[in-house]
Amino acid sequence: MQPFRTILFAADFSENSKEAFRAACSLAVEDKTKLFVLHVVEPEWGRMEPDQPEEQTTLPNGDEPDEARREARRQQMREVYTPVHPIDLEYRVSEGDAAAEILRMAHEIGSDLIVMGTHGRTLLRRLLAGCVATAVLRGARCPVMALRATGHPHAASELRVIVHPSDFSEGSEAALRVARALARDRGARLILLHVAPLHVVLEGGMTAELDVGYLRDALEAAREAVDGPDLKFPVETWFSRGAAAEQIVRVAEEIGCDLIVMGTHGRTGLGRLLMGNTAESVLPEAGCPVMIVKASRPVSSTTSNPPVGTQVATTI
Question: 101-151 pLDDT, tens per residue?
Answer: 999 999 999 999 999 987 544 434 444 445 788 788 888 989 999 887 655
For 96, list phi and psi in degrees, rounded to 5.
140, -160
State the average pLDDT over residues 209-224: 90
The CB density around residue 180, as the number of other CB atoms within 10 Å, is 28
26 pLDDT above the threshold of 90: no
Q: What is the DSSP string of 238-269?
A: EEEES-HHHHHHHHHHHTT-SEEEEEES---T
Does the pLDDT at position 279 exceed 70? yes
- 17 falls within a domain: yes
| 306 vs 168: which has the higher pLDDT | 168
So what's the pLDDT on residue 77?
94
Q: What average pLDDT does the segment 157-179 reach?
A: 86
Instruction: Quote the pTM value.
Output: 0.77
In this structure, the answer to whether residues 248 and 212 fall within a common structural domain is: yes
pLDDT, residue 222, reads: 94
CA distance 85 to 49: 33
Half-sphere exposure at residue 138, Cβ-oriented, CA atoms within 13 angstroms: 13
pLDDT of 130: 57
When comparing pLDDT for 41 and 270, which is higher? 41
Task: Report which of 260, 129, 17 is spatially closest to residue 9, judged by C-alpha positions.
Answer: 17
DSSP letter, residue 61:
-
Q: How far is it, in rounded angstroms, from Cα 282 to Cα 146?
A: 11
C-alpha distances in Å from residue 300, one per residue of 44, 171, 201, 286: 42, 9, 20, 28
The CATH number of the domain holding residue 120 is 3.40.50.620
Least confident window among 152-161, 164-173, 239-248, 286-295: 152-161
- Whether 243 has a pLDDT exceeding 50, the answer reads yes
Residue 153: its pLDDT value, please? 55
User: Mean pLDDT over all residues of the chain?
Assistant: 78
- Please tell me the predicted confidence (pLDDT) of residue 55: 44
Whether residue 306 is contained in a domain is answered as no
- Whether 47 shows a pLDDT value over 50: the answer reads no
Residue 60 lies in a domain: yes
Q: Please indicate, yes or no, if residue 179 is contained in any of the structural domains.
A: yes
More confident residue, 217 or 308: 217
* pLDDT value of residue 56: 42
Q: Which of 148, 168, 203 lies at the terminal end of a domain, its last residue?
A: 148
Same domain, 133 and 182: no
Q: What is the DSSP string of 198-240?
A: SEEEPGGG-EEE---HHHHHHHHHHHHHH--TTSSS--EEEEE
The answer as to whether 281 is a domain residue is yes
Domain encompassing residue 218: 159-294
Tally of domains within the chain: 2
Q: Are residues 163 and 144 part of one domain?
A: no
Residue 270: is its pLDDT beyond 60? Answer: no
Mean pLDDT for 70-84 is 91
Residues 138 and 191 grouped into a single domain? no
The model's confidence at residue 263, banded by pLDDT at 50, 70 and 90, is confident
- At residue 154, the pLDDT reads 56
Asked whether the predicted pLDDT for residue 11 surpasses 60, the reply is yes
> Does residue 93 fall inside a structural domain?
yes
- For residues 85 and 131, membership in a common domain is answered with yes
12/127 same-domain check: yes
Cβ neighbours around 131 below 10 Å, total: 12
Same domain, 194 and 133: no
Same domain, 186 and 228: yes
Instruction: Note whether 277 and 163 are same-domain residues.
Output: yes
Give residue 298's pLDDT band: very low, low, confident or very high (50, 70, 90): very low
Query: Do 142 and 213 fall within a single domain?
Result: no
Q: How much of the chain exceeds pLDDT 70, in percent?
A: 73
Query: Do the domain assignments include residue 305?
Result: no
Q: What is the pLDDT of residue 149?
A: 62
Mark which of 148, 174, 191 sits at the end of a domain: 148
At residue 2, the pLDDT reads 63
Per-residue confidence band for 169, with pLDDT thresholds at 50, 70 and 90 = confident
pLDDT at 160: 94
Residue 313 falls within a domain, yes or no? no
Same domain, 128 and 211: no
81 and 14 in a common domain: yes
Picking from 148, 174, 201, the residue at the C-terminal end of a domain is: 148
